[in-house]
Amino acid sequence: MPHPRKPDPVKHCVQCGNLMVRKRFPSALESLHSFKRRQFCDQTCMAASMEGQIKVLNPRSSRKQSQKTVLANCENCGRNDTGLYVHHVNGDPLVNDPSNLRTLCGSCHQLAHTQLSGRMPQRLRPCIYCSLPARHRGLCNTHYSRWQRNGSVLITKRWNGHGEPVYLEDFLEPSRPH
């Protein structure tokens, strides 16, 4: 003869407040221990209760958890492209308190980190032959690649119709001799 069923304790769902009963499975009834631990009547109430909450922090999941708070636009400049980042204001990536998180675009995020470290962003000087930003040896990418290939920043190589190279020199007045 089986044991008589123990009465269910009176419990209410934390989210909706409905009276909870033990779940019936095809082969058994939910154990009393599991029922006592359960706080929600179903998964929808549990999901509704956890909506917008940031879970317990650990170093592995901190970045993923902070990404949940990304807004649609950059908070500095208002851009709404796909390259939005979560910036931690105090610099500690483990503090995911909403007051410590800001949504920034890539350029504003880089600027925030240079200001946080105390360094000013490096200002690029103009190329000595044109007004484009200088990358290598005071030259822009175009003039630097010409110097690497041809030995002179002003020479360009073109091909005539017969398969022979013709070297042309730009008619720019350099600001200094090369």
**pLDDT tens-digit readout, 8-47:** 889 999 999 999 999 888 988 888 899 999 999 998 998 8
Q: Which residues contact 60 (CB under 8 A, 6 or more apart)?
A: none
Cα–Cα separations (whole angstroms), residue 142 to 130, 149, 153: 10, 11, 8
Q: Which residue positions in the chain have pLDDT lower than 50?
A: 172, 174-178
Q: pTM of the predicted model, to two decimals?
A: 0.38
| Residue carrying structure tokens 């600027």 | 111
Residue 88 β-bridge partners: 101
- Give me the numbers of helices (H) and strands (E) for the chain, helices first please: 5, 6
